[in-house]
Amino acid sequence: MNLKFGTDGIRGPVESVVTPEACLKIGHATGLVMKELGWNTVVIGKDTRISGYMLESALQAGFIAAGVNVRLLGPIPTPGVAYLTKTLRNKFGVVISASHNDFLDNGIKIFNEDGEKISRDIEKRIEKHLSKNLSPVETSKIGKAYRFDESGPRYIEFCKSTVPPNISFSSLRIVLDCANGACYKVSPEIFEELGAEVITIGNEPDGYNINQDCGSTHPEVIQDAVIKHRADYGISLDGDGDRVILVDEKGNLLDGDDILYILAFSNPNRTGVWSGVVGTHMSNLGLEEGIEKLGYKFIRADVGDKYVSEMLAKKGWMLGGETSGHIICKDLVSTGDGTVAALKVISSLLILEKRPSEVLSNFKKIPQINKAIKVNNKDIINDKELKSFLKEIQSDLTIGRILVRPSGTEPKIRIMVEAPEKNVAEKFARDIEKLIKSKT
């Protein structure tokens, strides 16, 4: 069983990769590492996929076999698990989720005692144990499992606490798309309790419809809904709630770059821990220029909210995120949290008494084209002809960037092209796509 950690934990099809057997071994291996570190309790949460209950049972059996006690949180957003791992004083927290993927996939994400993704060193220790035969501890030392029924209410109260007490959402009509995922219950309650009129969609999970034609990977749904309901904001979350896309009152889409700019613009303190912002190699060149004009430093991390978080820790900064909508506000949360990011953007704009368009008029994005190509072997990224072609294109660009990389969560090659003119970016992206497809 060749299980390896990727960009965001271990992820793949339930029928072939993240199977019950795999989860049994992951739970046992992770439990053994916990015991080696002197820890004996773990919390486990999940999203709404049909496979969640099956894999939860296998995962907890593995932990129990290693002598680790388990607290079962039930369906809850990924950032909720990170928060509860920290506040319940647990050393490890586990999420069963494949984030924005469809229901055929599932995955395992692991947080440490600070509510952050575990280090590569700990991942390697777990991987070592995965290659060994599963051998339970003696019966008198096996772990126990408990249901923790307060996970939702605790997370709701935490999210509400991130909004300044003098701020009310009572004047707002908000459309909220919960992607039929882990946020389907908690997020609507958060915005309603803050006073907003909430129109919720994507809140009827059946185990199969997570991310299906809804959520942050289908932003057109929330755009149409905002116009239809004449809403002030649209909020579109993904299946596990760790990323968000916003829509303004005119139906304009605000991605992670726009969100980062709004949060940076609205922060009056731009020194010390607030002196810099972390993006990724996917962040628009216009964002980098705009952030620097505001007086911040801007640094790019590798793609993945885990790497953004690591760079923030390295620099000692508080704000970072990805274009896809993973936003990390380190002053409030330890990992990407779509609901908290949306709360902070809206409350910041209420304080400024500005619409998103008024703030975003201060910076201009360069045209950027993104494509994802499904492949059987992601090693095609190392093809000599492809590398040579990319160098040739980059040399033709006086302004702009090209990034071609393997997805860390799906069997895909991702293409990003930036150029001063959209038609130029589109042409180069098509040419790269054509070459890659010819080799698959």
Q: Are 283 and 300 in contact (CB under 8 A)?
A: yes
Which candidate, 414, 409, 410, 425, places its Cα nearest to that of 381? 414
- Those residues with Cβ within 8 angstroms of residue 36's Cβ, 6 or more apart along the chain or in another chain: 125
- Those residues with Cβ within 8 angstroms of residue 314's Cβ, 6 or more apart along the chain or in another chain: none
Please name the amino acid found at residue 53: Y
The one catalytic residue in 51, 97, 99, 334 is 99
Phi, psi of 417 (to 5 degrees): -130, 130
135 is catalytic: no
Question: Element (H or E) spanning 351, and its range?
Answer: helix 338-352
Please name the amino acid found at residue 421: E
Per-residue exposure over 230-264, b if at least 16 CB sit within 10 Å of its own CB, e if not: ebbbbbbbbbbbbbbbbbbbebeebbbbbbbbbbb
Residue 189 CA to residue 198 CA, distance in Å, equals: 9
User: What does DSSP assign to residue 207?
Assistant: S
Q: Is 398 exposed, middle or buried (0-12, 13-18, 19+ CB in 10 A)?
A: exposed
Task: Compute the 3-state secondary structure of the chain and give helix, strand, coil in percent, each to the nearest 5.
Answer: 40, 20, 40
Residue 150 CA to residue 282 CA, distance in Å, equals: 38
- Those residues with Cβ within 8 angstroms of residue 315's Cβ, 6 or more apart along the chain or in another chain: 276, 278, 299
Catalytic residues: 99
